[in-house]
Structure formats: C-alpha cells, structure tokens
Structure 1
C-alpha cells in the first residue's frame, strides 16, 4: 500500500542557503527563502516585481497584507533561520499549514545578525542543543574561550584541526595582500580553490573585497548585485567563492578565510558575527583582522586564561 503524499515546505531567510538546500532536498519538497515567496505572490497578484531594497519591502508587505486568503496546502513546514524572521512573517507562513499540519522552527540566537524582535510559538515543544558536528575541536575551544556563545558549544567533531593563522591589515592594500596570503596558506595545505570560501565582515556596499574580480590570481565567484527576471541572483564565473558573513550564514566550506573584520570591542553583534564566520569551516580557518580586532581577541583570550 502506497504511503499518503506529504506536502512539505522549507523556508529560510538567506537566498543562498535556500539555493544550497534545494540541491539536497527531494524534488517533492518546496524549498524557498521568504522573499522568493513574496516575489512569486506579487507577480501572481499585483504585477511585475522590482528587484531593489524598496521593491522587496513592497513585495513583503503585499504578501503580509494578502496572507489571510492563502490556501492551506502544506502538511509539514520547516522554518530555518528563525532568529531572522519577524512574528508577522511566521504568522503568514503558518497560514499555509493544513489542519493537523506540523511546524518545525530552527533558530540559533548566536547567529542573530539582524535586529528582529523575537516571537513566541505558544505551546510548542522546545528543544535546546549546543552540539556542534561541523566545526573542528580546536575552533570550538577558541569559540568558547572567546565566550562567543552561551551556553558553550560542545564539539562532536572527531577532527581536532589546527590553530587558525592570523594576519593583520591597516590599509586597503594590506587587506588584499593579507587575504591573498591567507588563501595561499590554505592552497599550500592542499585545499583546492573550490574548497575555500572567503567570508567578509562587511557587506557589498562597504567591502573592499566583495566586488573584486580576482584575489591572488584566482577568479572570484561572487554575487553581482543583479537579478534575472525570476529574481535569481546573478553570479560571476569564478572558482574562489567570496561572500559576506551575512549571506554565507547557514552554509559551510572545507576551508574559510575570515577577513575584513575590524572592531575594537567584543560586543554582542561582533560576537555573533565571529561565531557565524568561524563555524562556516569544516576543517581550517585563516583570520585577517585589523590590529584593533587582533588586540581585542588577544585580550579576551588572556582574560579567559586567568
């Protein structure tokens, strides 16, 4: 006897994460980020969308305004990156669940990079877990020594890993040179360019690296800032991925260069950004920091050592 069909959906915040999960999920599962839903709805109900910050805001508001009339069509809904969702967004998605449908919300307070208010789920069963299966043990020890997250992460990875290399920069030219040196150090350890992700602490508007066509002689694969008619991100053709820490959240690579991090205090936002950046690596990390950021981490490690 054939099992009954289960209509399932997965919705996250980052488009790049949705693209990644879409390659892993079965074809029968609808995988989108929240703004994709808004774009599809806007085109269906209101006309051709405009892909700009203001345009996305209008499409999101239209989705929220119309959600009372949505058809309940899902038996299972997974919301990922819940810390980046507003209560209104979650409510609009719950309209898609049939009676008796199941809702799973995955969130990580340590990865809250946007200023969104939290929300309650009523009688939901709450499960907390600090286990980390991706990150090498030595990086987990560094994360805990820097007090980047509470409760501390518990490493479940059998691989110890190595202490990250640290380089500093005091100018744009030094930033590029130090980042290229970090990439070269990973290549010398046997990682291929396709194994490496460069994760920047700044977004496209202020980064000195994210728009570069090449780094260390390698063509970069980067979001161009443009979209096709369907709202798909347009990417450059390169072998060395470069992304902001905001857009790379939820993904991982064997080796990561954490670069363009400039801070002089470990406030909550900085801790979260560092936590996200460090936990993208499956095997190795190289750090490129401003002198003030390096001194800040050094002081935090000294305090942890007593």
Structure 2
C-alpha cells in the first residue's frame, strides 16, 4: 500500500539508525483452544526504549464523534474498521507472541500509534485518540518528533531494550527463533531497513537535469540509476510534457511502468492515469522491441522470428521512427542504456524533439550483449554516481571480483555471502534446493527471493508472464539477462558454467557481476569449484572450496550454506 510504503521510507530516513523498522509483521498466537491472528503495518524496535506498533490508514480519514465511527472519503465516507481498536489489538497479540517465544515483557515499553500519512487530521482526543498517538501527514518531515512523543518517558518498571533485546524481538517477529540469536531473516530485514533511496549524489544529478537537456549518467550496479530515471520521467510528465521511459529488458519495462505510475500518484499528479505502453500515448513506458514492434512493417512477423538476432538487432531499430509514436517526445529517458546497440541508440535519438531532453543511464559492466553503443556522442554532459545504496558491503565486495562496483555502501554490511557446492551437472537443481530450504527454514517469502542462473532459463520466451509474476510478488526463477535492472532482497545464484568454455571468461564475469548485484541484502552462490577453476575464475573457485561439502553425500543438505569471509 502506498501509505504504508511512504511511512516505512520516512521511518528509515528520519529515525535513529539503531531503530529497527519492520513492515507488515504477521503474528499468530494460540491459547485456550483459540487461535488469534494480527498484522502490524509497522513495528519499530528501539534499543533505547521499547517497541511501537503502528496502524497505518491511507486516504483522507475523519472521525464521526456523533456516531463514534471512522470514515474514509475515498470509500464514499462509509464506515471503516476502527484503527485505534486495530492498533490496540495488534499490540496485545504482539505481547502474547513475544511471551510465547519466552521473551520477557514485564519490563517492555510497548506503545502504539495510528498513522494517516496521506491527510492532516485533528486528534479526537482521549479516550478515543490522543495527540501523542496520532501521526498524520506532517510526519513526512517530522516523524522523529512524533515518534518520541508517542514513546514518552519510560514509566516505573519499564527498562530500555538494549541492542541484544532489540535483535531478539526482531528475530521472533521476522525470523526463526534460535536461542536469542538474530536469524538470517532478521539480518536481511535489518539491511533492507537501512536502504536509502536518495543521497546527495542523486540530488546533484537532478540539478544537472534542470541545467542540461542531454545527460548521460554512469554508475555501477546499485548506485540508483533506475530510481533517478523514474524521478526524471515523473518530474517532466507531471509538468505536462510528453515523456518516453524506455529500456531493453521486458521484465524491467513492466516494473518501470508500475513504478512511474505509483510515483506520479504519490505526488498527486493526474498524469498517473496516462502512463501506458501505447507508443502514441502521453506518458509511454515500454521496451524498445515492443515500441518498434508496433510499426506497420512489423505486422505479421512470426513469433519467434526466423532469425531472432537479425530481427531484434538490425531490422527492428530501422522500423522505429516518430511515425510509430505519433510524433516526437519532449523528454526521452533511457534506462540500462548499455544494452542498446548503435542502431537502437540512433533510433531512440530520432524520437527526441528538436528542443527536447534526453537522459540515459548506463553501466558498461552490465553490457551482456556486447552492444557497445557510443552514448557520449549523443549526450552533452556525463555524471558519475559513486555511492551504492542498494547492495550490502558483503555483496558489493563479492561483485567487485567481477567488475568495478562502488564499495561505499550507505546501507551497511548485511549478512555474509554464502556458498553451496555441487557438481556442474547438479548446479541447476541444487540452486532450487537451496532456495526452497531458505524459504522453509528462514521464512523467505516469494516476493523477497530471486532464483537466478547465469544462462539457464526455465521460462524462456515467457518474459511477459515473468514480468507479471514479478510485479505481483510471485516467485522468480530465470537467468541473469532476463532479470537485469531488477532486484530482490535475497538472490540464490547458480553458476551453470560449461568447464570446456574457457573462452567465455569475460562473458562469465559480466554475467556473474550482473546477477550478484541483483541481491540487496543476502546472496547465496551455488557452483562447482572444478568447473569454475577450468574457465579461469580461480579466486571464485577457492571461495567455493572454502564452503561446505556438496549435497551428494547428504551432509550439506542438513544445514543452510555457511557464510564465507573475504
């Protein structure tokens, strides 16, 4: 939900870094033959204080004092569930869940609040809802103040949680309970909560956009290129300009379309309703093959075409003209620009109006298709992003072995990269097994996990279906190229390497770099050290050998892959 997501972002950005921010915490408790369930929209775990449960309500809220009911304008001012009762009930269930996990609660400061981040609201007052428990739209930049007011001073008998106590509660609420130690899931959650969307380098780029009409933004994986692409498209679309946001990857194009629509809706722009894949639209978000494929000359082409490489890289670019898009665009934003060949770049350049703006975002190390387009010849100003806001330091350090990646990771260390070993003919299957074990034993949901291989793609030719599953939070199992530009908290990466193809070393390095950097918080790598050694990736082979034994004998199947340092 947009309201919950907004509040989560504000909490991560404004609260002390030691406060753990856990969104959508589901709890089930039983007692006396009765099962009770609750879901907290947001739980804040503060080592210096206690735990705060937040019930979030989107839209424009109001309280009808004459009937003692709550209403939402967007629901036709009909009565909605009482958010105060929900918050109090969730707090009660949370307390019982902690007690069931043998977490002491007698000294725990357990507070609650109701948040209405999309509207201003005057507190009805006690006994309904006091000012200290209401967080309305002003928390967008005053959340710290409201949070401290809700917490208040510790009362008689209450004690601060401390770091260990906070980690223990996070483990119970988000991960499997292991004798008070933080679980792998809790470590993932902690890193996810530290991810920041904007930094000063991003703000510098946005200023470049205002001053220069043609800008090339370079940055390694995780530096926020796609976030900026969406920001740029939203900025100019909201001003009424005709905008094209385009990329090569099918899955990424679907995600960009949804993300831009959400961004425009979040700022209250009616243009959100005009975001489309129709090339003749006002705000168009699509991939280049779909765009050019709308040309009349492309009609009737077999799917797949007889010669796919020639069709996609030579024929289609020549069909993409302003006639296909019913005219030029005021602003063209090109994400993952390194994927496009010279012919494609020329075609996209032809869609920019004479006085229009063109912004491209690229990471040459992710050029999996050897496109090598001369982007600087088309764009006047270059800007380099130098902070990694997506990947943990552990993941960035691993990826640095295969390409230059920014190690200035604003989100912190994260869990260590883990490895699992399997014979080369078992890597594909073993990768799935490791993923299933993570889901079963560590409660990693489908929406948080991507299962990737370098080349193996069980959904080849089904990119549209895969895109829909990604957007709906479904399972992802595909290859490095298909998931380019996307990301998930956890990635299990299978190194399906042919040991006889030592001539593919550089191609392998790029594929490993691109796939590994799709992980934000946890990366698990599955491979055969002998096959990896045979293609010349000696350091990676040594790292795999330092991990647990292969699953063939059953020993490694009894535990999750262990972390490997370095």
The alignment's TM-score, normalised by the length of structure 2, stands at: 0.44
Does structure 1 residue 111 correspond to structure 2 residue 360?
Answer: no
Aligned length: 275
Aligned-residue offset at 1:67: 3.2
Does structure 1 residue 274 correspond to structure 2 residue 504?
Answer: no
Q: Which residue is 2:285 aligned to? A: 31
Aligned-residue offset at 1:188: 2.2
Distance 1:277-1:174 versus aligned 2 partners, 3 A rule: closer
Distance 1:68-1:121 versus aligned 2 partners, 3 A rule: farther
Q: Whose Rg is larger? A: 2
Aligned-residue offset at 1:185: 2.9
Aligned-residue offset at 1:175: 4.1
Aligned-residue offset at 1:234: 3.7
Q: Which residue is 2:433 aligned to? A: 180
* 1:142-291 map, 5 Å: 142-144=398-400, 146=401, 148-150=402-404, 152-173=405-426, 175-185=428-438, 187-204=440-457, 210=458, 223=459, 225=461, 233-235=464-466, 239-262=474-497, 267-291=505-529
Distance 1:125-1:301 versus aligned 2 partners, 3 A rule: farther
Higher relative contact order (CA 8 A, sep 6+): 1
Task: Give the secondary-structure state (helix, strand or coil) at the position aligned to 2:461.
Answer: strand
Distance 1:65-1:196 versus aligned 2 partners, 3 A rule: closer
User: More displaced, 77-86 or 234-243?
Assistant: 234-243
User: More displaced, 116-125 or 291-300?
Assistant: 291-300
Write out per-residue CA displacement over residues 37-59 of structure 1, whole angstroms, 9 at most, x where no aligned residue: 12111xx3453332214365447
Give the structure with the higher percent helix: 2
Aligned-residue offset at 1:193: 2.6
The alignment's TM-score, normalised by the length of structure 1, stands at: 0.78
Which of 349, 367, 386 does residue 94 from structure 1 map onto?
Answer: 349
Task: Give the secondary-structure state (helix, strand or coil) at the position aligned to 2:286.
Answer: strand
Q: Which runs of 5+ in 1 are unaligned?
A: 205-209, 211-222, 227-231
Aligned CA RMSD, in angstroms, stands at 3.2
Distance 1:239-1:128 versus aligned 2 partners, 3 A rule: closer
Aligned-residue offset at 1:171: 5.0
Q: Which residue is 2:328 aligned to? A: 73
Give, in whole Å, the separation in 2 of the partners of 1:24 and 1:66: 25
Q: Which runs of 5+ in 2 are unaligned?
A: 1-237, 262-274, 276-281, 546-564
